[in-house]
Structure 1
């Protein structure tokens, strides 16, 4: 297949490009600068422009664009979070429709469901409330042009991706390694996670299964609580996890973002993937952490 990837320099994008090429696919990368390699093609999602030849003959487009949710939010940061997702999705959806490209896989987030508490949500569940949930609704809606034109659109609602190379795990490791890690708040909020190998395998699975469209939850079948997550990270890093972080402290550090990132409960399950026969490599959180962290673990 000839696959065009946007967001190819991000945590997931780098691995997707490498894995697709190893599998024998031809990959073109969209970049927002002067192309520096044969496989690069310039685009500007803010203005809706893409190099004319970038999508010629493409079988699929994978859009993984989006700036990080992490950190303290203000009005400008929230505008960037929205624009970095909605503008690329709209531009690519229109291009997919114009070129008659059969498949668009567009990044999305489990934040769609808002705070699920102790109730397990799947792809049939409705949207939640809050800035991120509302943003995801608009993000996914930006792909409607491609869907209405007859292209297969898959919405990759991704959870916390376990990787030693970046993402939330890279932020959580140092405090635990320094003996300062602990559960956030009461620790009962759920974390929907997926290992990087399963994230990439799921994307490839969805590329190869033309009968699947719409939202797909990319997360392991067994979400864990924040308390379980923190204890498992301590075990994996061979460090004690002793000091819980009160909700007031989390909110003081993260402000508005605290209740949608650190303290939110996302108990979400991957019904579509499981029903379609996808086999997860990692379903146990301890095993997933050990496998992901093993290459970078210090000798003891």
Structure 2
């Protein structure tokens, strides 16, 4: 397949590109800066500009673009960047794919477009699947708009998959780096009540699932989360066990919310007990089906 990838400079994109090339695919990346290699092609999602010829003969697009969501307060300016970067990138790609499909309607095309399990909002201990509705907080409504921006491609007959990704576990992930430092100093513990579910997935399975979904007969939302969800208390206990450190210093919810504001309330002390129903029904088999194996891989030291 010929595959275009946007947002390839992040954790997921950095692992996806070599995996796709190893599978024998022809891969091109969309970049906002001056291209450095023949595989890179410039576009301007902020102004919704892209050379129409770039996607004319692609079989698939993996859309990972968007300002990273960091553990920091959601100021008005930061919220605007989070929303605009996602909607601009997704709309630009979706409209370009729709034009390509109109010019060559016989070619099957697929768009794998990033989203997040934050789509569901805080769901407590209730199990959620792809059939559940969007939540009402900022991140949930952001995901709702983000997914809706693929409408032009869907209307043109492109198979669209919304990748509702959980917390990606890898030694390079910010979550693992930050928690690793805290726990190695002996300062780790549950966050808030610890009863909130943290929907995790290993980077190996994030990439494996995306490779699978390029050709699987699936469209619409797909939860990219591990099949054995755990609470924050269980997550932090296992994290400590992998590092041979204690997990005895809980961080109270009020401190998290005071420091991080809306981000803390929606992404740290809240959570989703999300299940990867559609992914498993499509035949995907996890490399890391449980948290211990995923964290073992994510915390292993480089040799």
> Which TM-score band (shorter chain)?
over 0.9
| Root mean square deviation of aligned Cα | 1.2
**TM-score with structure 2 setting the length:** 0.95
Q: Is the 8 A contact 2:129 2:276 kept in 1?
A: yes
**1:104-119 mapped onto 2 (5 Å cutoff):** 104-119=111-126
Alpha-carbon distance between aligned partners in 1 of 2:4 and 2:248, rounded to the nearest angstrom: 46
1:56-106 per-residue CA deviation (whole Å, 9 max, x = no partner) reads 310000001122222222100111111121110000000110111611110
The reply on whether 1:277 has 2:283 as its aligned counterpart is yes
- Structure 2 partner of 1:65: 65
Deviation (angstroms), 1:275: 1.0
Deviation (angstroms), 1:55: 1.6
Q: Is the 8 A contact 1:161 1:167 kept in 2?
A: no
Alpha-carbon distance between aligned partners in 1 of 2:263 and 2:149, rounded to the nearest angstrom: 24
Q: Is the 8 A contact 1:41 1:51 kept in 2?
A: no
- Structure 2 partner of 1:13: 13
Given candidates 174, 186, 190, the residue that maps to 1:179 is 186
Alpha-carbon distance between aligned partners in 2 of 1:126 and 1:169, rounded to the nearest angstrom: 29
- Deviating above 4 A after TM superposition, structure 1's stretches of 4 or more consecutive aligned residues are none
**1:29-68 mapped onto 2 (5 Å cutoff):** 29-68=29-68
Alpha-carbon distance between aligned partners in 2 of 1:255 and 1:93, rounded to the nearest angstrom: 33
**1:1-300 mapped onto 2 (5 Å cutoff):** 1-70=1-70, 71-100=72-101, 102-209=109-216, 211-296=217-302
Alpha-carbon distance between aligned partners in 1 of 2:242 and 2:51, rounded to the nearest angstrom: 46
Alpha-carbon distance between aligned partners in 1 of 2:282 and 2:18, rounded to the nearest angstrom: 25
SS at 2:9's partner residue? coil
Unaligned runs of 5+ in 2: 102-107
Q: How many residues align?
A: 296
**TM-score with structure 1 setting the length:** 0.96
Alpha-carbon distance between aligned partners in 1 of 2:236 and 2:192, rounded to the nearest angstrom: 12
Q: Is the 8 A contact 1:164 1:296 kept in 2?
A: no
Unaligned runs of 5+ in 1: none
Alpha-carbon distance between aligned partners in 2 of 1:51 and 1:167, rounded to the nearest angstrom: 34
SS at 1:46's partner residue? helix
Deviation (angstroms), 1:52: 4.2
